[in-house]
Amino acid sequence: MTDPVVEVQDLRIAFGSHEAVKGLSFAIRPQETLALVGESGSGKSATALSILRLIEREGGRIAGGNIRLRDGDEVIDLTALPDAALSNVRGNRISMVFQEPMTSLNPVLTVGNQLAEVFIRHRKMSMREALSASVEALDQVRIPEPARRLKQYPHELSGGLRQRVMIAMALACRPQLLIADEPTTALDVTTQAEILDLIRSLQAEIGMGVLFITHDMGVVAEIADRVVVLKNGIKQEEATVRELFEAPKAAYSRQLMAATPKLGDGSKAGAAASDIVLQVDRLSTRFSSKSGLFSRKSDKVTAVNQVSLQVARGETLGLVGESGCGKSTLARSILRLIEPEEGTVLLNGKPMTGVSKDVLRETRKDAQIVFQDPFASLNPRLAVHELITEPARIHGLVSSKNQKDLAAQLVERVGLERDGIFRFPHQFSGGQRQRLCIARALSVSPKLIIADEAVSALDVSIARQVTDLMLDLQAREGVSFLFISHDIAVVERVSHRIAVMYRGEIVETGPTTKLLSAPEHAYTQRLLAAVPSATPASLRALQ
């Protein structure tokens, strides 16, 4: 058997007195992909950062064990390597791709300058040579017009292109190990499929090992050879991907598999469409795009084009489509957080468009929005009882005297403890913070809640809890949802109907089961074909 590229033995990672990873061991061989899975806080990212000895920058330390990198006949103990020698390992022998490329790329430097820096630092190239190599690197990761992209800044690229730039930087020195930490979580399914295919093909070409960190078991089934399951820093199970999916041994592994939404598991029955809560007719939103000398010329870019849809009382309409298709712009246009240029919106029979701000304010309380990042949505300086009652205070629905009583009722409605109202957002987990955002939305007893990628940043077990909460609220209180997501398996689970958006337009709408089983539009067919199957390829071949 081939010697491992990296071997981790009895690794222990601590933050102060808290031990986050406890005696973890695994090995990765050339051309092998090991998936590290588990819920938030299980120690996945801490393990990845420890391999590159970056954990110290996050306030942690390697408290025990060792990490060995093999280079031919040479074996390097990374845990004992001096800082000066580590700089030759990072980005050269071991590279890392993070979840959000926008926070990893320098916004004030061009793509070319950032990519060239890798070649200059590790390959000792001149700037001219580095830029030429950068063009080849971007071409290798299938970025169109690579020479032109070198002159662009990160904000000028789509999420998928930025992630490809990060992969190009990570692979520039043909590393022995690539660490991919949730590299596809924020991407739509078509872009995700392209990135996974890219990693697989480049892995075969370079012969590198891959440590792939994810909470998406569908992605694990697509890309992994073996899987290590972590919970609270302890390895629960290590198995081939086929063994894990066919017969998981650990109780936690079985729980994780059960929580994973699978396309085709069934959907909700259709809701009656007689009592309409939201009616959108021919809505269009455009943005100004300046170009030309001194940016004087202004063109209009259409983000939402003549969109019509409706949501009935007690119904969930799922809205799907790739990044940049206009889903979030549509959601904000409906609530007039962005002003649409054309069309009408009726909420509970009352107009949202063509009315004054005072009228809009009164009508808008019937619709609330829950965003993707719960931490960014909550003021860190306010206690929970102030945060979640803010909409009710704004609309004069609660007095200061009754604020804490309302807050206690709201946290109980979303399955949290009453005494949590005196805590602050940072004292809650990601899933609990999202529950707080839902509690805040419920403070004004809305008829409609728009969930804009509300569970995409959560691991599968926490996401399952949040969607269960939404389903329960809908059953008990008749709340309607416009559920926006790039995870079609989750959309299937919660939605009565699905609308498919492509380049600013709704191209297909229908009952969930019918649309997913017999899509009519070519784009819908392509979207569904890109969804990763929660079944390993080795098992699919036998079916």
Which tens digit of pLDDT belongs to each residue from 122-167?
889 999 999 999 999 998 888 888 999 999 998 888 777 888 898 8
Instruction: For residues 418 and 484, state if they share a domain.
Output: no
Q: Are 371 and 455 contacting, i.e. CB atoms less than 8 angstroms apart?
A: no
What's the CA gap between 173 and 95, in Å, rounded? 9
Two tokens at 316?
Answer: 């969930």
pLDDT score of 152: 92
Instruction: Confirm whether 479 is domain-assigned.
Output: yes
Instruction: Confirm whether 296 is domain-assigned.
Output: yes
| pLDDT above 50: residue 542 | no
Exposed, middle or buried, 227 (CB in 10 Å: 0-12/13-18/19+)?
buried
Which tens digit of pLDDT belongs to each residue from 287-323?
876 555 555 555 678 989 999 999 999 999 999 998 7
Instruction: For residues 271 and 358, state if they share a domain.
Output: yes
| pLDDT above 90: residue 68 | yes
Burial 347-379 (b: 16+ CB within 10 A, else e): bbeeebbeeeeeebeebbbbbbbbbbebeebbe
Instruction: For residues 289 and 428, state if they share a domain.
Output: no
Report pTM: 0.78
Instruction: For residues 428 and 496, state if they share a domain.
Output: no
Exposed, middle or buried, 281 (CB in 10 Å: 0-12/13-18/19+)?
middle
Instruction: Confirm whether 12 is domain-assigned.
Output: no
pLDDT level of residue 202 (50, 70, 90 thresholds): confident
455 or 285, higher pLDDT: 285
- What is the CATH number for 304? 3.40.50.300
CA dihedral 44, 49, 52, 53 (to 10 degrees): -130
What's the CA gap between 365 and 378, in Å, rounded? 18
Domain boundary residue, one of 445, 462, 477: 445
Instruction: Confirm whether 511 is domain-assigned.
Output: yes
Instruction: Confirm whether 518 is domain-assigned.
Output: yes
pLDDT level of residue 247 (50, 70, 90 thresholds): very high
Instruction: For residues 433 and 352, state if they share a domain.
Output: no
Q: Are 57 and 32 contacting, i.e. CB atoms less than 8 angstroms apart?
A: no
What's the CA gap between 68 and 47, in Å, rounded? 14
459 or 443, higher pLDDT: 443
| pLDDT above 70: residue 102 | no
What's the CA gap between 454 and 463, in Å, rounded? 9
What's the CA gap between 320 and 263, in Å, rounded? 14
- Enclosing domain of residue 345: 265-366+446-532
Q: Integer distance in angstroms from the first to the last C-alpha of the chain?
A: 30
Instruction: For residues 273 and 333, state if they share a domain.
Output: yes
Which tens digit of pLDDT belongs to each residue from 407-422?
999 999 888 889 899 9
* Residue count of the chain: 543
Total tally of structural domains belonging to the chain: 2
DSSP state of 416: -
- C-beta atoms surrounding 103 within 10 Å: 9
Q: Which residues pair with 265 in a beta bridge?
A: none
User: Which amino acid is present at 527?
Assistant: L
Which tens digit of pLDDT belongs to each residue from 488-541?
889 999 999 999 999 999 999 999 999 999 999 999 999 999 888 766 765 555
Percent above pLDDT 70 for the chain: 94
What's the CA gap between 430 and 451, in Å, rounded? 16
Domain boundary residue, one of 424, 445, 466: 445
pLDDT score of 541: 53
pLDDT level of residue 383 (50, 70, 90 thresholds): very high
Q: Which helix (H) or strand (E) holds 161?
A: helix 159-171
Instruction: Confirm whether 341 is domain-assigned.
Output: yes
Instruction: For residues 361 and 468, state if they share a domain.
Output: yes
pLDDT score of 462: 81
Instruction: Confirm whether 292 is domain-assigned.
Output: yes
Instruction: For residues 293 and 428, state if they share a domain.
Output: no
Instruction: For residues 352 and 289, state if they share a domain.
Output: yes
Instruction: For residues 450 and 414, state if they share a domain.
Output: no
Instruction: For residues 321 and 405, state if they share a domain.
Output: no
Domain boundary residue, one of 445, 478, 501: 445
DSSP state of 423: S
Instruction: Confirm whether 182 is domain-assigned.
Output: no
Distance between alpha carbon 526 and the CA centroid of its chain, in Å?
21
Instruction: For residues 430 and 458, state if they share a domain.
Output: no
